[in-house]
Amino acid sequence: MNTQAAISAATQSPELEQQLLGAVLSNNDRYHEVSAIVRVEHFFEHTHAAIWKNIAARIERDHVVTPVTLASDLAANEALQSLGGARYLLNLVAGSTAGFAAKDYAIDLAEMYQRRTLAGRFEQLAEDLRTGRAADDAAAEVELMMMERAELSAEPRTMSFNQAQMLMIEEMHDIKEGRRVGVVTGLRTLDDEISLNAQHYTLLAGSTSMGKTALALHIAFSAAKAGQGVGFVTLEMPEQDLSKRVNSIESGLAYNTYDRAMSEQSFRTVIETAKEQQDLPIEVFSEKVRDVPAILSEGKKVARKMKQRGLKLKLLVIDYIQLVRGRGESAVVRLSQVANDMKQVAKQLDCHVLALAQVDRTLAKLEKWDQWPQARPGLPHLRGSGDLEMAPDNVLFVFRPQYFLTPPRCTVPSDPSDRADWESEYDQWKGKAEIIIGKARMGEIGSVTVGCDLSVNRFWDLDDGQGRIAF
């Protein structure tokens, strides 16, 4: 058995685990009383966790679970065999003396898991502080832990419907009076479909070269020009590269020319644009800000800094979410934790979080030019974790068919008829991007088509009647 002398009786109890397993094996109906409370990871003993996982899988498929079925299913489990295999399972049933208390066992088991988890995190936090971790980052992690605890608490958290209605009317009045304004995206057609409000969180996803960062920069720049405070966590590029791309929006010079020797006139244009942009309320986070507690800690500092300027932090951009460091034993668990924590960051900072994300790279692998519609992304293509779909309030995708219609991504057809079709498709999508609304908690799914020039990170509304495409 897995034993750790340092773990106190308050954080683990093999005997309690045995009683719960025995109760459910004795009467499978008891599983439904406790399934909403107990998870596999709640079990301290790995063997008990394996038993519970098998029990849950069988009952969820409407199959009966007995010591006999378990012994067969777990015949290859060495840990169970070392305890006696089928004999141990039979003893679980025989030793279950109070099956009627299964729900109480489940509650106690979940509580012990929470104590164990908190103790481990606090111990790690103490060790991190002793080895030089910033106090603000540690404090931010404690705040996140407390918010997570509040979400998991079994204490009733209710509000009367009348109170909810009053809050709704107050919010609507603030909107009517102009006191509550969402993030300005600079795209009227997008604003008509979706609102980027405070305490909400949007995922902006797309394949490589689709323009995720360019669109995020366009939105950040538009918000800042409108006097809204913006924080930008750049985990993929240095701060000066981010500055080049923002500068290019107004200078009109392709941002990839900033790394080469320029003409005197172009250089003066860059300098003049930099002067015009020097007061933009955009704060770029240091490359050291790589995990959620550090993002929250730095975000609070930026919010205070904005307030001193008479502004409010309205938008926090994360570029991109798969690069944020998380907690957990696997990449999937870590990304799931980060995806859920972003919601808490939005609430804590009272701003909108716009997190960029990669999608499945196989979407970009096409054999023929006319297969480009197959590369259009959707929720199933989000890479790394199902929580990337579940946690955000909104999920947007940016998609540029022109990319797939341009050599070398495609071969221009030699047949005159096929070439005419290719030219028609290419002309239709040249200089355009489709912003797909894959999820909108307070709106409808669909898409808007906008003009774009990624070389200068610009997006604009179209006036050709193609503004919205309904699904």
One digit per residue, the tens of pLDDT, for the chain of length 471 reads 444 444 577 788 889 989 999 999 989 988 888 888 888 999 999 999 999 999 999 888 888 999 889 989 999 999 889 999 889 989 888 887 677 888 888 888 988 988 888 888 888 888 888 888 888 778 877 877 776 666 555 444 577 888 888 888 887 777 777 666 789 999 999 998 998 999 999 999 998 889 999 999 999 999 999 999 999 999 988 899 999 999 999 999 999 999 999 999 999 999 999 999 999 999 999 878 888 888 988 899 999 999 999 999 999 999 989 999 887 778 888 888 899 999 989 999 999 999 999 988 777 777 788 888 888 998 988 877 678 888 999 999 999 999 988 888 888 888 888 889 989 999 999 999 999 999 998 888 999 999 999 999 999 999 744 444 333
* 350 close to 201: Cβ distance less than 8 angstroms: no
| DSSP class per residue in 278-338 | TT--EEEEPTT--BHHHHHHHHHHHHHHHHHTT--EEEEEEE-GGGSB--SSSHHHHHHHH
Can you spell out the DSSP letters for 358-399? EB-GGGG--SSGGGGGGG---GGGB-S-THHHHS-SEEEEEE
| Distance of alpha carbon 103 from the chain centroid | 33
| pLDDT score recorded for residue 370 | 82
Q: What is the pLDDT of residue 152?
A: 56
Instruction: Count CB-CB contacts under 10 A for residue 138.
Output: 16
Cα–chain center distance at 397: 14
Confidence at residue 407, expressed as pLDDT on a 0 to 100 scale: 85
For the CA atoms of 99, 101, 105, 111, the dihedral, rounded to the nearest 10 degrees, stands at 170
Q: What pLDDT is attached to residue 2?
A: 44
Q: Which burial class, exposed, middle or buried, applies to 179 when counting CB atoms under 10 A from its CB (0-12, 13-18, 19+)?
A: exposed
Show the CA angle centred on residue 75, arms to residues 70 and 77, nearest 5°: 100
Q: How far, in Å, are 243, 314, 347, 387 from residue 341 at the CA level? A: 28, 18, 10, 11
Closest CA to 171 of 196, 190, 197, 132: 197
d(CA 314, CA 354): 11
Judge contact between 320 and 235, C-beta under 8 A: yes
pLDDT at res. 205: 94
- What's this model's pTM, rounded to 2 decimal places? 0.69
Q: How confident is the model at residue 94, as a pLDDT?
A: 86
Alpha-carbon span 97 to 108, nearest angstrom: 17
What is the structure's pLDDT at 187? 94
How far is 359 from 379, CA to CA, in rounded Å? 9
